[in-house]
Amino acid sequence: GAVVSQHPSWVICKSGTSVKIECRSLDFQATTMFWYRQFPKQSLMLMATSNEGSKATYEQGVEKDKFLINHASLTLSTLTVTSAHPEDSSFYICSATLGWTSPYEQYFGPGTRLTVT
């Protein structure tokens, strides 16, 4: 149980275009989802926390207008990188919690590798 999927697993886009990454909890309802960014040989950096039906809470230094997060349902959150640039190339990972039963543990998706050319 507690499986999280991401789509696509990798994507290449041209500079200036937008790209959407989906994060789904497959067998549970996720009240809270998180989005992380990981540069090569670095740790995971939390970008934002999203709760179903409300606006995402962004970490300091993360551009809200550039990284649009939508948590439309209890099983789906999306991250849209708008007007992507090469410096946005990174590995993006989402995670979800099992609601109030175990809010302290996150279940991670397999990640999406974004390359902006």
Nearer to other proteins, 66 or 113 (CB): 113
Other CB atoms within a 10 A radius of the CB of residue 41 amount to 5
Do 86 and 15 form a contact (C-beta atoms < 8 A)?
yes
List of residues contacting other proteins (CB under 8 A): 32, 34, 38, 41-44, 46, 49, 51, 57, 91, 93, 95, 97, 103-111, 113
Q: How far is the CB of 80 from other proteins (least distance, A)?
A: 21
3-state helix, strand, coil in the chain (%, to 5): 5, 50, 45
Q: How far is the CB of 98 from other proteins (least distance, A)?
A: 11
Nearer to other proteins, 18 or 102 (CB): 102
Q: 29: helix, coil or strand?
A: coil
Q: 97: helix, coil or strand?
A: strand
Nearer to other proteins, 86 or 100 (CB): 100
Q: How far is the CB of 114 from other proteins (least distance, A)?
A: 12
Q: Is 62 exposed, middle or buried (0-12, 13-18, 19+ CB in 10 A)?
A: middle
Nearer to other proteins, 43 or 86 (CB): 43
Q: How far is the CB of 86 from other proteins (least distance, A)?
A: 20
